[in-house]
Amino acid sequence: MNPEQFIQELAKNKINLTKKQAEQFQLYFQALITANEHVNLTRITAEEDVYLKHFFDSVTPLFSFEEIFKAGATLCDVGAGAGFPSIPMKILMPELKITIVDSLAKRLTFLKDLVAKLGLSDVTLVHGRAEDVGQNPQYREKFDIVTARAVANMTVLSEYCLPLVKEGGYFVALKGPKAEAELDDSKKALQVLGGKALKEEELTLPNSDEERTLILVKKVKPTPKKYPRQAGTPRRKPIH
């Protein structure tokens, strides 16, 4: 998917990219490739692959779950790495208020430079592990939407993300192909953490055989205080 095809595919989904937004994606690509020579941000470096597997992939929830992305919504992206999915979403919806949580300082340094380069406002970078941030009163149950892409399996991911979602808000998981079994395994965790799975959407990225699954979870009741448990525990002892 070259930049031109990217613009066309967005138009098919009723998103008309402005000249400025197209330039922001181009700057993002260049910054990613330059920084990647020093910091391991991505294995995907060809322009067509970055546009398809990073940029387009990141924004699929905006058309699949359009109803939850309201102007001015607060969004927390857990383990965003090089800024996926939240920065592409922010470029398309500048009015989103974004908080990015990552445990690696080098990645946050890249993101800080990127945000400045792209001229984005309302982007907060938080250095920490999801388990610690989820217990911090400043962030706990404060967000309308929490996203995560390629971070952990659904059970573990739910413990990272749901404590950050406010009651009535949403958790969006961007997963690979055939995530149904993962979703089944996470039923107990979702219930314990106050979430309810609403939708599961399978899709294939345009002109490719890249399959993805998007999962939408609503926060229907507060998360018990003991969750998230201390760093490392969700992975070692998932909720079952």
Which residues belong to the annotated binding site?
Answer: 79, 84, 130-131, 149
Pick from 215, 214, 150: nearest CA to 189: 215
Query: What angle, rounded to 10 degrees, do the helices at 105-118 and 19-36 form?
Result: 150
Residue 151 pLDDT more than 80?
A: no
> Which CATH number goes with the domain that contains 127?
3.40.50.150
Average the pLDDT over each of 16-25, 37-46, 61-70, 81-90 and give the range with the smallest value.
37-46
- Strand-pairing partners, residue 97, are 74
Show the domain range for 120: 3-236
First to last CA, the chain: 40
DSSP state of 138: T
For tokens 């330039």, the residue is 23
Measured CA distances, 27 to 30, 64, 178 (Å): 5, 26, 33
Domain count, the chain: 1
> Cβ-count burial of 34 within 10 angstroms (0-12 exposed, 13-18 middle, 19+ buried)?
exposed
Residue 25 pLDDT more than 90?
A: yes
- Give the pTM: 0.95
pLDDT score at 152: 81
pLDDT score at 163: 98
| pLDDT tens readout for residues 112-148 | 999 999 999 999 999 999 999 999 999 999 999 999 9
What tokens were used for 38? Answer: 């020093």
Overall average pLDDT of the 162-176 stretch? 97
| pLDDT tens readout for residues 175-226 | 998 788 888 899 999 999 999 999 999 999 999 999 999 999 999 999 999 9
Say which amino acid occupies 34.
T
Which residues belong to the annotated binding site for S-adenosyl-L-methionine?
Answer: 79, 84, 130-131, 149
Overall average pLDDT of the 42-47 stretch? 92
pLDDT score at 191: 96
Q: Are strands 211-219 and 195-204 parallel, antiparallel or unpaired?
A: antiparallel
Q: Which residues contact 166 (CB under 8 A, 6 or more apart)?
A: 141, 142, 143, 144, 219
Overall average pLDDT of the 153-168 stretch? 96
Residue 33 pLDDT more than 90?
A: yes
What tokens were used for 217? Answer: 């979870």
- Phi then psi dihedrals of residue 81, to 5 deg: 60, -110
